Amino acid sequence: MARYSEKSLTQYTNQMIENIAKGSTIEELIDYTYQTFRLPLIVADPGYRWITSAGDQKVTDPFWQQIIEHGEPSDHTIMAYYIEDGLMQAITGSRQAININWGVCKDYPQTSGPIYIDDNLEGFVSVLFMEEKLLRFSLRLNDLLCRFCTILMRSKNFRLKHAINPVKELLAQKIFDTANYPQINKLTEYVDTLRLTPQYCIVVLAEKNQEEQILSHIKSRIVKDGSNVLFLVKKHRLYILFHHLQLVEFEENLLSIVHQYNLYCGASDVFTGLNQRRKYIQQAELAFETAAILNRNRECTYFSKSLPEILLLQPLEKYSWESIVPTSLRKLFSYDHAHETELVKTLEIYLYQRNDINQTAKELHIHRNTLIYRLNKIRDITQTEIDDSEMAWVFQLVLQAQKMFQTKK
């Protein structure tokens, strides 16, 4: 067993230090390790997505093959084995490689260790040690590989994911995929695991010049400041779901980053149910795109506060009517539908007549007192002062937009 002796491990260590000094990559590190010891190896990111691997293609561990062939394990594998059986908790709970012989590894014992950079989990390294007598050697080799990967990731800025667990990552992907996951009941097990609680808010932000490295750094900062947020990067934008108490921290922490890095930022209204998230994702996108058009960087553009600009600047046909209409008016539409009233029409004509009660009553062919009753009812339902000039302007724009949506249908 000279290949697995103390001497061979020392020689390997010295050679790897030399290789790293010459610019070795992680792929080269893992391949060289396999060629030296003939033990199958795999490196994955915190979401158990494949980074690199080496070994005999006949390795019988089906879960390794799943990651190697598809790039990541299935949702079922993540939940049923990595999470529920405590595999990930065990690995990340130790700063050294450990022997895994349960859960997903029950029939294929292996060693596995975490890769940490600045106390942030950046990945895992596993060694399939094949024979029980190689366990001690495998643990030592695994520890060395974790250290070498840490050096390479730090020096090469090879940072795929930042302190995120697989359940959180899977949920983030699905939360922002409303086409395939329109209803939250398909995601209940993930939501329950992460204990997401209302209220919710969607935020979309991006670096002004779409610099990927800057966006990656910003993502790390946000995760560090609020580790329980859900986020996803797509199309050079960072999508974030805040929930519950994080909304209090949002103003202070995120806005300081937005200002510091010259970012465009758009935020949705606050909402209570994740089944509604599609329209609030669209709200955040509309606010973000309006900020970009107006070159309004270094601050957050809030959907409700910027609705006039949004309605005037955005191609609304790309979005749903539910995303555009503010909550106050949505309540009024719902009341009309439920009670067969004409409060929306009353409000529209009242605003068109510049809040003239007599002219509005004449236009609607109703008594002045009836109109006053309706207007008070509108105030109660919308919880707004409809005679306020800014609110009246917003309502007029929304009601005009509604006609466009009706025409589109």
CATH number (2.60.40.10, 2.130.10.30, 1.20.1260.10, 1.10.10.2840) of 327-408 reads 1.10.10.2840
pLDDT confidence band for 401 (50 / 70 / 90): confident
- Give percent above pLDDT 90 in the chain: 44
Q: 165 is written with which tokens?
A: 């667990």
Nearest alpha carbon to residue 149 among 2, 47, 20: 20
* C-alpha span between 163 and 337 (Å, rounded): 48
Q: 161 is written with which tokens?
A: 């994911």
User: Looking at the domain covering 2-155, what would its CATH class be?
Assistant: alpha beta
Helix (H) or strand (E) run with residue 264 in it: strand 263-267
**DSSP-H helix ranges across 294-325:** 307-313, 321-324
CB 290 within 8 A of CB 309: yes
* C-alpha span between 235 and 48 (Å, rounded): 23
- Identity of the amino acid at 216: S
* C-alpha span between 304 and 325 (Å, rounded): 10
* C-alpha span between 373 and 382 (Å, rounded): 14
As a residue count, the chain comes to 409
Over residues 108-149, the pLDDT tens digits come to 899 999 998 877 778 899 999 988 999 999 999 999 999 999
Q: Phi then psi for 310, rounded to 5 degrees?
A: -60, -45
Over residues 227-282, the pLDDT tens digits come to 567 888 888 899 999 887 666 666 677 888 888 778 999 999 989 888 889 999 99
CATH number (2.60.40, 2.30.30, 1.10.10, 3.30.70) of 166-320 reads 3.30.70
pLDDT of residue 186: 72
Most confidently predicted of 104-108, 109-113, 296-300, 315-319: 109-113
Query: Does 199 sit behind a cis peptide bond, omega within 30 degrees of 0 on the bond before it?
Result: yes
pLDDT of residue 37: 95
Can you give the residue ranges of every domain in the chain? 2-155, 166-320, 327-408
